[in-house]
Structure 1
């Protein structure tokens, strides 16, 4: 479900939904980003997070049905040795395929600006989820409004070194 600018956010009376580009634009941006990463052989497209900004990593999972490697570029923040991301699919209703793959086979690799890491994915729950969600909220003030656009809770995914 997508809300346009000026549409009320469910559960937040009087608060308007932040602008979300059309789905075709989001998907095109993903394809361009991956294309630049491939074209420049990984020298362009990934960056480290800063205190006020998320970074990007290339996550490679194994397809839950195909058994083939699947790669996607996603945003992340650091939490000690862990990498933390949100399973949001461009704030679309469906769960992202990489998250479904990670749930079926938690072992993956993360390509970062400064090298590759073997990781194991899991969902954050309880107090850990709240703490990590708050960390993301510091970076994106509209996080709760974007999350309200989804029909289900957005998973906070922790990628632990293995």
Structure 2
């Protein structure tokens, strides 16, 4: 059995997401940052079970120097895997357009969430419908660049 490289990045298995990531990555971020008019970033987490690097694309908002993302999973009853990975290891990497950042993440507190949720639902109103569709509280995640 071949040895696996724990620094090899595994992209989302969802077809349209993988295609979006590929376009974003192959263009160095010049293409793919905008997705149907929405700003997206590439988020790379460390798999909590496999230890492998996992990459997905997510819509984001800006809150000063911080980025804000939502773990909606389209209203699924389960959190997205990337969110579970961040709960296990809050250190991750993002690509925003042509920029790359090491980041530290955390779930917004109960005090922070209402303002950030309002900001994110103004960017992508479908989040409101996703919240109505599920019993779980959809998390808002704060993503802060760290010195490399």
The TM-score normalised by the length of structure 1 is: 0.73
Cα separation, partners in 2 of 1:42 and 1:84, compared to 1, 3 Å: same
Asked if 2 retains the 8 angstrom alpha-carbon contact of 1:47 and 1:112, the reply is: no
In the alignment, structure 1 segments of 5+ residues that lack a partner are 1-26
Structure 2 residue runs of 5 or longer lacking an equivalent are 1-13
Cross-structure match for 1:28: 15
When residues 37 and 57 of structure 1 are mapped into structure 2, their CA distance, relative to the original with a 3 A threshold, is same
Aligned equivalents of 1:125, 1:134: Cα separation in 2: 14
Which residue of the other structure, out of 37, 42, 48, is the alignment partner of 2:24?
37
8 Å CA contact retained: 1:59, 1:71: yes
1:149/1:34 CA distance change after superposition, 3 Å: same
2:88 to 104, 123, 126: 104
Query: 2: CA distance between counterparts of 1:79 and 1:88?
Result: 19
Matched, 1:72 2:87: no
CA distance in 1, matches of 2:84, 2:70: 13
Confirm whether residue 144 of structure 1 aligns to residue 128 of structure 2.
Answer: yes
CA–CA separation in structure 2 for the residues paired with 1:34 and 1:89: 17
Is 1:61 aligned with 2:48? no
Q: For 1:160, which of 125, 128, 144 is the aligned residue?
A: 144
Point out the structure with max Rg over C-alpha.
1
Moved more, 139-148 or 69-78: 139-148
Give the superposition deviation at 1:160.
1.1
Residue correspondences, number? 132
Name the CA distance, whole Å, in 1 between partners of 2:124 and 2:25: 28
